[in-house]
Structure 1
Amino acid sequence: MVSSTPEETFRRMIGLMLAKDMNAVANLWAADGIAEFPFAAGSSPRVLRGREEVRAYLAPYPELMDMREVAALAVRPTDRTDTVVVEWTATGRTVATSRPYRLDYIVVLTVRDGLITLYRDYWSPLSAAAAAGGLAGLIDSLGRKDT
């Protein structure tokens, strides 16, 4: 992989997501790269370990969400050259309901040799479930006790 900055890697990822090439998005992860979702709820995973777990997680995304545009994107440098904070907004439509959505994200991204080593995504599970028409199911899953 050609070395690139975290911002370049993130922008490449967004372009591939808009093109619905989830396999290529997964290929941006280092083999041992991590994806973390600290606010995940219900059946959504909180951590994905390695490129192949990321690939499996991303595979169904185009059948769920039709991301059509990045309505806002701001990249904030940190005191580490391999890490940036990205604030971004995706718009599109939910495939199951054809309803439009607008979702906001904050991502802390660390890249080594052009590959993602850590992707920490602070998204709202309530907003995502509402956009996908699954808010009732998410709320129901939060009330269940694991046995």
Structure 2
Amino acid sequence: MTTNTASADLYRHGLQLLLDKDIAAWVELWDENGILEFPFAPEGWPQRLEGKAAVAEYMRGYPDHIDLHDFPHVEIHQTVTPETIVVEMRGVGRLVETGGPFDMPYIAVVAVKNGLITGYRDYWNPLALQEHATNFAGSN
């Protein structure tokens, strides 16, 4: 099965925007009614953001907390639904507040319709950052 290149290309473009710290442009990749979910979110962190405005508010301060340097591993898998991809990736950089290293594996399930992200389930391990990122969680 081949990867839906439109969804994969949109996703890869979004990763570059995150590296460029262009959060406004990253948010523009979202559908007005897009949903961002964090199934493993700890208590006090958002589990579901509904709508582009909520995603924008959540991501507003991201570069103030995590300074991404690279995504050295990105593997995109096609699902039986052509507009949906599953992404295995790793983001590296540093935690701005402490200067400590940031090295996080992710799995994301991303749905795209009409060239925009309509759904994004972000499976990351919040325990890896919890002690350093309380300010990030509280900024939402």
TM-score, structure 1 length as denominator? 0.85
TM-aligned CA deviation for residue 42 of structure 1: 2.7
Distance 1:79 1:71 in 2: 26
Could you tell me which runs of 5 or more consecutive residues in structure 1 were left unpaired when the two chains were aligned.
139-147
Partner of 2:26: 25
Q: Deviations over 1:22-50 (max 9, x none)?
A: 11111111000100100001321000000
Give distance in 2, aligned partners of 1:106 and 1:84. 10
Shift of 1:71: 1.4
Q: How far apart are 1:134 and its partner, in Å?
A: 4.3
- Aligned length, in residue pairs: 131
- Listed one character per residue, the Cα deviations across residues 72-116 of structure 1 (whole Å, up to 9, x for unaligned) are 110011111100100000000000001111001000000001100
Return 55-64 or 34-43, whichever deviates more: 34-43
Confirm or deny: 8 A CA contact 2:65 2:97 kept in the other structure.
Answer: yes
Stretches of structure 2 lacking an aligned partner (at least 5 in a row): none
Q: Name the SS for the 1:5 alignment partner.
A: helix
> Paired residue for 1:68?
69
SS at match of 1:98: coil
Once the two structures are superposed, the pairs formed by residues 1-147 of structure 1 within 5 Å of their partners are 5-130=6-131, 133-134=132-133
Question: Which stretches of structure 1, 4 residues or longer, exceed 3 Å deviation after superposition?
Answer: none
Kept in 1: contact 2:65–2:133 (CA 8 A): no
Task: Pick the structure with greater CA Rg.
Answer: 1
